[in-house]
Every structure is written in structure tokens, then in C-alpha cells.
Structure 1
Amino acid sequence: MIGRPAITAAILAGGAGLRLGGRDKGLEPLAGTPLVEHVLAALHGVDALLIVANRNHDAYSRYARTVADAAVDRHGPLAGIAAACAACDTPWLLTVPVDCPDPPGDLAERLLRGALLHDAQAVVAHDGTTRQPLFALYRRELAGAAAAAAAAAQGVWSWQDAIGARELDFADRGQQFQNLNTPDDFLPHAARTRFRG
């Protein structure tokens, strides 16, 4: 997109990894490579990178500038989105979760095109079956609204509804929104069948 506004991509890596025994999901190896590296390799059409993590900052900072949630008692994805918005230096912020190793390569481009077409301050991917609330694009100016909603323990989905986020159709990429949650998901066979099958 010629002359398009700049986008910062934020990888949300602040989860507790409970189904992995508390291990940091983004640093778990998939096919011998930390999961976060798969996500980074799949990101296209962005101008800057952020990682939102609440532990292992030294490990994540090897890949990109790393920020934490604003307060330790504000866990959850919306707190991560708020922290990323506050740290964003570009007009737009793209969010993706660290547990999805193969997000659509045209995610940023399509979301931005939809945002500009609909004059929306936030757009979110829909995989043809359901909204994918962590795959979204926001105007940087939403930082304050995100922080207030996170402080009130609001969920991402309801906050997106409150700010009038538009859903964009990604049914043609539906398989690419699947994520890894359990140790079995990280096995080579499981990874091949889930993401490339």
C-alpha cells in the first residue's frame, strides 16, 4: 500500500502458560525454534516491533523492544494491549498472540485496508466462524481507553464492542488462527497437521 501509515506489531506474550505447567509459551521450542521466532517470521507489512511480556524480558529483548503490563495485578490480554498502545510510536498498532505460529502473512495489510475503508479506529479479524480478538489493529490514541478498561477488568471482546471495532472477514485464512496450548500441540506431528494440513 503506497504511502500507507506506519504500523507497530505487538506480540502478546504475557500469558501464564498454565496448560504448559507454567512454562513461558513464547520461549517453548516448536520444531527446535522458540515459538516467538515463528511469529516474528510470519509478520509482514509492519514498521516496528514490540513484545509484551511479564517475565523473561532479557530473553525476549533479543528479538524486539519488550514492555510489561502497566501493573502486576492487571493480568490478561487487554492489559497487554494497553501496554503496547502506550509504547507504540506509530499511528497504528497490530496485535498478535505469541501462541499462534503461523498468522496470515497479509494480516497487517488487510486490517489496515479495512480500517481505512471503514474509517474505523479498531478492526479485528474474523476467521469465518468466530471473532479472533487478539488479531486486531488499533489507532494508537486508544491507549487511554485500553488502560481504563483493563483497570476495570474488562475483557478484550467486550472492550472491542465498546469502542466499535469492525470485524473483517479472514475466512480464507481460518486455519492460520489456530494456536498452541498444550505440550502435545508442540509435537512435530501435531504442528504439521494443525498448521500445514
Structure 2
Amino acid sequence: MTAAITCAILAGGAATRLGGRDKGLELLGGRPLVAWVLAAEGLRPAEPATLERVLIVANRNLRAYGHHAETISDTLPGHRGPLAGIAAALAACASPWLLTVPVDCPIPPVDLAERLCAAATAGGPAVVAHDGERRQPLFALYASGLAGAAAVAAAQGLGVHAWQTAIGAREVDFSASRVHFGNLNTAEDFAAFDEHLRKRS
């Protein structure tokens, strides 16, 4: 792929298993979780494709997120889930393609963008990672022309997985990188990752 991409970090979740705290701003190894995702090599495609813009999609603490990257919010009323965030990112995307990743996965596969971009050259409106056991619907690459379809589906209450199936998204095998799709949902998850970092340092 020779086109430029925009990356959207989806940070609009309710974080119910974390007591409602904003996961992306929780500290991990001394810095906010969103900073880990922003620094991840996996967000950057291989040449000649380029990453031209990064967005954070959030529903609260927009000013705090704005210290890290350009931040936008969902446009649909109520908490419509991650598809609403994807729809907002697609609407704001001026690149031909939009890469999405969740904010609660600090170290996504290093070749995530590279391999999704390569798979997209085979055609179709979207490609999505599969970890060998299940689809990882928030790790995906979409043609930006899907903005309208995503907004309609989100307004109808459709989930991301179901919408991807409806539009014919193709799965890309990331079974060799399954561990990198692990996300942080609870205080115990954050503590365990912090301990892992301390042991590595």
C-alpha cells in the first residue's frame, strides 16, 4: 500500500471493571496508558505507506487526552460503544484508510499496521486482526469511505464484530502475536503489568 493512513485510538469505554476510572489516563510504569499506545511501533506502517495523523477518540477528559494527541469525541447521543467511536474517527479521517486500536492494549503487535496495510491491497473495505482463536475487532483497518455506513450501524446499535461481518471485512492471521492483544481491564491487570515492567528493568 502506498497510501497514507490515520490511526484512531479508541478511548471511550466505560471501564466498569476499573471502577469507572478512565483507563487511558491510568498510570502504567509511570506514564498514562494512552502514552504507551501512542509510542507503539505497531501503529506505524511500512514504507511506502505513511502514518499522517493520530486521533484519540474519547467521551470524557478530552483536555487531558489533548495533551497527548488530537482528540475527538463521539457524535452520537448516549454511550453507543466502540462502533460510535469508529464512526466518529472515520468522519474525521482525511486519509484513504483508518487504523483503529483500543487504548487498553499497551503493546500491540509490532507489525500490526504493516500487515493490515499489506492485506488491504487485496481489496475490500476493511481488514481485521485475528489472534488464532478469535477476531480482535478493535484492531482493524477501514477504507475512510465507510464513515456513513459506520454511523448508521452505530445508531442502530450494531456491534463492531457484527458490522465488520456485514461489510465483508477480511481477517488477517496474527496468531503468532496473540500475546500482544492482551488488554488491561482491572486494577489487578495494571498491577501485574507494572510488576512485569519492574522485572524487566
Q: Normalising TM by the smaller chain, what interval?
A: over 0.9
Deviation readout 1:120-159 (Å, 9 max, x if unpaired): 1100000011000000000000000000000000000000
- Secondary structure (helix, strand or coil) at the match of 2:171 reads strand
Matched with 2:81 is 76
Structure 2 contact 28–194 (Cα < 8 Å) conserved: no
1:150-161 paired onto structure 2 within 5 Å: 150-161=154-165
Residue 60 of structure 2 is aligned to residue 55 of structure 1: yes
The residue type paired with residue 105 of structure 1 is: V
1:34-80 CA deviation, whole Å, 9 max, x = no partner? 00000011032222100000000001111111111112324200000
Name 1:101's counterpart in structure 2. Answer: 106
Q: Which amino acid aligns with 2:44?
A: H
**Maintained 8 Å contact 2:5/2:95:** yes
**CA distance in 1: counterparts of 2:55 and 2:193, whole angstroms:** 30
Structure 2: how far apart are the matches of 1:89 and 1:116? 19
Counterpart residue identity of residue 79, structure 1: A
Could you say which residue in structure 2 is the equivalent of 1:11? 9
Aligned alpha-carbon RMSD (Å): 1.5
The letter for the 2-side match of 1:6 is A
Counting aligned pairs with the same residue, the percent is 62
Cα distance between partner residues in 2 of 1:123 and 1:171:
15
Contact preservation (8 Å) 1:31, 1:188: no
Is 2:116 the counterpart of 1:111? yes
Partner amino acid, structure 1, of 2:99 = L
Task: Please tell me whether residue 142 in structure 1 is matched to residue 140 in structure 2.
Answer: no
Q: Is the 8 A contact 1:74 1:151 kept in 2?
A: no
> Where has structure 1 moved over 4 Å in runs of 4 or more?
188-191
The match for 1:44 is 44
Q: In the superposition, relative to structure 1, how do residues 132 and 34 fare at CA in structure 2: closer, same or farther (>3 Å)?
A: same
How many residues align? The count is 191
Q: Structure 2: where are the runs of 5+ without partners?
A: 46-50
Cα separation, partners in 2 of 1:191 and 1:78, compared to 1, 3 Å: farther
Q: Which runs of 5+ in 1 are unaligned?
A: none
CA distance in 2, matches of 1:189, 1:68: 28
Q: Return the TM-score normalized by structure 2.
A: 0.91
Q: C-alpha separation between the residues in 2 aligned to 1:16 and 1:179?
A: 14
Cα distance between partner residues in 2 of 1:99 and 1:80: 15
